[in-house]
Structure 1
Amino acid sequence: MVKRSSGELLLSIVVDRSSARSITTQVYTAIRQLITSGALSAGKKLPSSRTLARELDISRTTSMAVFERLTAEGLIVSRTGSGTYVSDQAEAGKPDQPLVLPAKGLVSAKLADIIADASPRFFQRLSHPKRPRAFVTGLPDYDAFPLAVWARLTAKHWREPRDQILGYPDANGHPQLRLAIAEHLRANRGLSCDPEQIFIVTGAQQAFDLIGRVLLNPGDPVWFEDPGAIGARNSLIACGARMIPVPVDDEGMCVKSGMKLAPDFRLAFVTPSHQHPTGVEMSLARRHELLAAANQAGAWIIEDDYDGEFRYDSRPLPTLKSADSDGRVIYVGTFSKTMFPALRLGFYIAPAPLIPIFQRISGAFLQGVPSSIQAVLAAFIEEGHFATHLRRMREIYMERHTAFHEAASQHLEGLLHIDRSIAGFHVVGKFTSPTMDEDSIVAEAEAAGLVVFPIRRFAIERERVQPGLILGVSAIDERAIAGGVKILGQILQAHHP
């Protein structure tokens, strides 16, 4: 406690030495709050930095740093030979008392028509635990990311001239990063594009939202894989799309079914390299069918290449966009899977006719992704660290897929039908008995410390999708995989007839 000093009472300040916040920040925040709240009014004398240090049992250096911060903010002033006082500026800067009116009942939350109509059709996206565990899906291996390299590149960026690092970012994306992405895609994904076609966004989700708002009118039919990606579905529904659930078979989206359901479709959403969530690869014949259908209808295609970099039996497959000679495909990529989710950075590639409109949209109301993140990522790619990281992750994930299948052969045989996985972050297991209940099994798995997702959760028309589980294997090591498979086998055995 700070006791009365020079006739003034500062109030009690508690220093929590176990807190993640520094002691300097704690003391500064406490005194600042006393001043701004009026508890210490203008003209009040403060104890000396020496007295403050002694009473709070902190170092003199810390107390002086606190006073320096408060002085820099204009909240206190030092008078030579007299001491330190709360400044008049602190009084002038205090907010006025808010005007409080008597309550007149609950406020009506009237929504815009398009959102009011969309809300009942939204489906909650998958949640992830703070710490990866069996069998959370969609997460990379955090421990394998080269943080030291990333930190070095970050420090190097912040040593650049201030006019290059502190200004507003280009709303379309950092030129260096757009060029680096174009060169990477050309070399690794068989996709040739100009850097000006690439637009940097805060993740794939923002790309889906922008594309939908630019290309869709309320009620426009959109072919959507069923089952399919929940986040993308929600984005397009929020744009007013009329979702057309198109079934998925062993060759990907069933284009003939789509033509029967909505031949006048405006947009199609597909994950051709590794269908989400079933994991199937869209065949070449089916790709040609889809491109022909879009050209015939004058429609656009969103290609979501969320984990196309991760194929384990050969090089990653060419993209759908690389076969698009008519400029119908809008390619969307993300660094959440190849790097880490907190990066919040993705991109999309616009066909030539759409470049001017997306440039106008970006310049009109998008603030752009922070330039520092983009510059560091550009350097990460250009110096070869990205390619090295991808090669290493493919090796790690391949080993984890192998470990899963070995454990499954011991504990899940006869309980789940599991095709050998050769790509992506997860494995799909379908129940061998129709009496096994997805919801009950998911709940019991959660109680046992596992995270599993039902296949039908991703479906619009649930009844036509064979029930089963989505099991992520990328974020956990081989030991956790083996232990999780054993526990899951016990749970499934209890539900198997």
Structure 2
Amino acid sequence: MKQQAGALLSSIRIERGSDRKISVQLYMGLREIILTGGLEAGKRLPASRTLAKEIGVSRTTVIDAIDRLVSEGMLVSRVGAGTYVSDVLAPPQTNAQQRDAPKDEQAEPQLSHRFTVALDSFAPRQRLPHKSQAFITALPALEAFPMTHWARISARHLRGNRDEMMGYGPPQGLDRLRRSIASHLNAARGIRCRPEQIFITSGAQQAFSVIGRVLLNNGDKVWYENPGAIGAGNALVANGARLVPVPVDGDGLDVEQGLQLAPDFRLAFVTPSHQQPLGHVMSLPRRLALLEAAKAANAMIVEDDYDGEFHFSDRVQPALKSIDTQDRVIYVGTFSKTLFPSVRLGFILSPGSLVPVFDQVFTSWISGPSTATQAIVSDFMDEGQFATHIRMMRRLYKARYDVLIEAANSLPSSIRVQQTRSGFHTTAYLDPCVDAGALVEQAKGRNVITAPLARYCLAPVEQNALVLGFGSAKPDGIQAGLKILSGLPALDI
């Protein structure tokens, strides 16, 4: 009786309901076993019929996976003798030698001094689930996006000129998208600018990183809102910034406090249209004071206008950049909220004095987002779809906000939802004796996701609060989420 030879490979699991083809799953499973040492060089695989039977797939599927690995050089097929793991994958020393090698001989990675310091200074950023539900923050209403129009424009461009859509586009960004953005900023945000001041980035975080590299030396002081946005702070820290936590009140960043803490600041980072995360709008006197402080310190200001398009009030404050007569504000915008996050598209609006610098930086070493994506967004804006979408989303977010405020009336007195005038998140203030961390964990156990205000703080603050996103949750989800919150033990004081 002929013996069946070859390794047992029963650890390979095939997911029948997966979108990935079974042959691809088998190929990846075999490849993983080989690369991690589960099959050593020279080891024989079982016959294709045997392997097919053991895993529960067709022989054709097994042959297809093995042929791919043979073509990659990981397996060697010998006529009449079977299929073996290639000798090329043999390690330079035996497995016993590897096991016996002392661990202290392993090379330690040598990080740059700047990044070693940054790793110790990064604000903790536990990633929240990014799916549409109560009360996820920073996620727009994806189900309301006009995908039909987007798909039509996309198809037109993807069938178009391949050199333009698939080649290396202009490093500063597609000219027509820069014109579209400049026109929109003028009409919608009151910012007069030229297309050549616009530099397209792969999202706002890349923009903050580029600004930090251009402007900051190691240890330079940066006024930073406390509480404030986490990601932007980490991007600046990675480029040498020493963040100075400046308190925020109902008028925005407290300029007087900033001057007391660090009068020699190099940069100020603010979210004046809708403070992240408290939701306040920076008052005009505070904006003027910030501009004056920057002038006195010869500093620059980064304005992050991450969701300023979505305002509810008839009295809309203009962008800080629109009243900048000293050319000190670097305006950063993103399409993650106005379109959708995975579009990975943002931009820097540079002051005129820095245009030659950014132009050289982008020309020399920065690669921007997909040219095809930029072309699609430009047409989406020029054909009026963007403006239509913004108007619709303002109405939708206002309706969801109204549901939130109305449902909040039934909450216990130990939690009070703060009213806001824009965006799609707000804060819910808690009594001092409420344990915000325990409340968050209890809510998570009931599939309600929220975040404590402390998550956004560089230094402790007096406020005890949660941050509630309402943009991605439908009205019934908002109502159900608040009902769950109201019944949690942490609020029972």
Query: TM > 0.5 between the two?
Result: yes
Structure 1 pair 68–445 and aligned structure 2 pair: CA distance change class (3 A): closer
What letter is aligned with 2:427?
A: V
Report what 1:423 is aligned to. Answer: 422
SS at match of 2:487: helix
State which of 476, 482, 488 in structure 1 corresponds to 2:479: 482
Specify every segment of 5 or more residues in structure 1 that has no aligned partner in the other structure, as ranges: 76-85
| Partners of 2:122 and 2:234 within 8 A in 1 | yes
Partners of 2:319 and 2:456 in 1: how far apart?
23
1:157 is the counterpart of 2:154: no
Q: What is the CA-CA distance between 1:420 and the residue it aligns to?
A: 2.1
Q: What is the CA-CA distance between 1:444 and the residue it aligns to?
A: 1.6
Partners of 1:233 and 1:375 in 2: how far apart?
30
| Partners of 2:321 and 2:331 within 8 A in 1 | yes
Structure 1 pair 167–71 and aligned structure 2 pair: CA distance change class (3 A): farther
Q: Extract structure 1 runs of 4+ deviating beyond 4 A.
A: 11-17, 23-39, 56-60, 62-75, 94-104
| Partners of 1:115 and 1:238 within 8 A in 2 | yes
SS at match of 1:462: coil
Specify every segment of 5 or more residues in structure 2 that has no aligned partner in the other structure, as ranges: 75-82
SS at match of 1:380: helix
SS at match of 1:332: strand
Q: What is the CA-CA distance between 1:419 and the residue it aligns to?
A: 3.1
Cα deviations by residue, 1:67-98 (Å, 9 ceiling, x for unpaired): 999999999xxxxxxxxxx9xxxx99x77866
| Partners of 1:223 and 1:246 within 8 A in 2 | yes
Partners of 1:110 and 1:35 in 2: how far apart?
30
Cα deviations by residue, 1:112-155 (Å, 9 ceiling, x for unpaired): 22222222221222523253222111111111112222222222
| Partners of 2:200 and 2:368 within 8 A in 1 | yes
SS at match of 2:359: helix
Report what 1:437 is aligned to. Answer: 435
Q: What is the CA-CA distance between 1:229 and the residue it aligns to?
A: 0.8
Report what 1:82 is aligned to. Answer: none
Structure 1 pair 109–383 and aligned structure 2 pair: CA distance change class (3 A): same
TM-score normalised by structure 1 residue count: 0.83
Partners of 1:492 and 1:252 in 2: how far apart?
33
| Partners of 1:294 and 1:300 within 8 A in 2 | yes
What letter is aligned with 1:475?
A: S
Cα deviations by residue, 1:235-276 (Å, 9 ceiling, x for unpaired): 122222122211111111111111122222110000000111
Report what 1:395 is aligned to. Answer: 395
Structure 1 pair 74–384 and aligned structure 2 pair: CA distance change class (3 A): farther
Structure 1 pair 271–57 and aligned structure 2 pair: CA distance change class (3 A): closer
Q: What is the CA-CA distance between 1:472 and the residue it aligns to?
A: 0.9
Report what 2:459 is aligned to. Answer: 461
Q: What is the CA-CA distance between 1:421 and the residue it aligns to?
A: 2.1
Report what 1:199 is aligned to. Answer: 199
Identity score, percent: 42
| Partners of 2:439 and 2:490 within 8 A in 1 | no
What letter is aligned with 1:135?
A: F
| Partners of 1:222 and 1:269 within 8 A in 2 | yes
Partners of 1:26 and 1:436 in 2: how far apart?
49
Partners of 2:30 and 2:134 in 1: how far apart?
46
Structure 1 pair 57–387 and aligned structure 2 pair: CA distance change class (3 A): same
SS at match of 2:269: strand
Report what 1:80 is aligned to. Answer: none
| Partners of 1:308 and 1:317 within 8 A in 2 | no
Report what 2:360 is aligned to. Answer: 360
Report what 1:211 is aligned to. Answer: 211
Structure 1 pair 430–31 and aligned structure 2 pair: CA distance change class (3 A): closer
Q: How does 1:2-17 map to 2 (within 5 A)?
A: 17=16
What letter is aligned with 1:22?
A: K
Partners of 2:64 and 2:154 in 1: how far apart?
27
Q: What is the CA-CA distance between 1:434 and the residue it aligns to?
A: 2.0
Partners of 2:28 and 2:116 in 1: how far apart?
42
Q: What is the CA-CA distance between 1:195 and the residue it aligns to?
A: 1.1
Cα deviations by residue, 1:403-460 (Å, 9 ceiling, x for unpaired): 0111101224x222333222111121212x3212222222222222211211122122
Partners of 1:32 and 1:429 in 2: how far apart?
50
Larger deviation, residues 305-314 vs 96-105: 96-105
Q: How does 1:42-441 map to 2 (within 5 A)?
A: 102=101, 105=104, 106-314=106-314, 316-412=316-412, 414-431=413-430, 433-441=431-439
What letter is aligned with 1:354?
A: L
| Partners of 1:309 and 1:316 within 8 A in 2 | no
SS at match of 2:200: strand
SS at match of 1:136: coil
Partners of 2:92 and 2:165 in 1: how far apart?
39
SS at match of 1:171: coil
Larger deviation, residues 134-143 vs 434-443: 434-443
SS at match of 2:488: helix
TM-score normalised by structure 2 residue count: 0.83
State which of 465, 470, 474 in structure 2 corresponds to 1:473: 470
| Partners of 1:220 and 1:242 within 8 A in 2 | yes
Partners of 1:176 and 1:136 in 2: how far apart?
34
Cα deviations by residue, 1:189-227 (Å, 9 ceiling, x for unpaired): 111111111111111111111111110111111111111
Structure 1 pair 184–71 and aligned structure 2 pair: CA distance change class (3 A): farther
What letter is aligned with 2:425?
A: H
What letter is aligned with 2:487?
A: Q
SS at match of 1:176: helix
Cα deviations by residue, 1:319-357 (Å, 9 ceiling, x for unpaired): 100111111000001111111111111111111111111
Partners of 1:57 and 1:108 in 2: how far apart?
44
Cα deviations by residue, 1:44-63 (Å, 9 ceiling, x for unpaired): xx99xxxx9xxx99899x99
What is the number of equivalent residue pairs in this alignment?
480
Q: What is the CA-CA distance between 1:228 and the residue it aligns to?
A: 0.9
SS at match of 2:319: coil
Structure 1 pair 163–254 and aligned structure 2 pair: CA distance change class (3 A): same
Partners of 1:107 and 1:57 in 2: how far apart?
43
Partners of 1:187 and 1:137 in 2: how far apart?
28
Partners of 1:492 and 1:269 in 2: how far apart?
38
Structure 1 pair 108–71 and aligned structure 2 pair: CA distance change class (3 A): closer
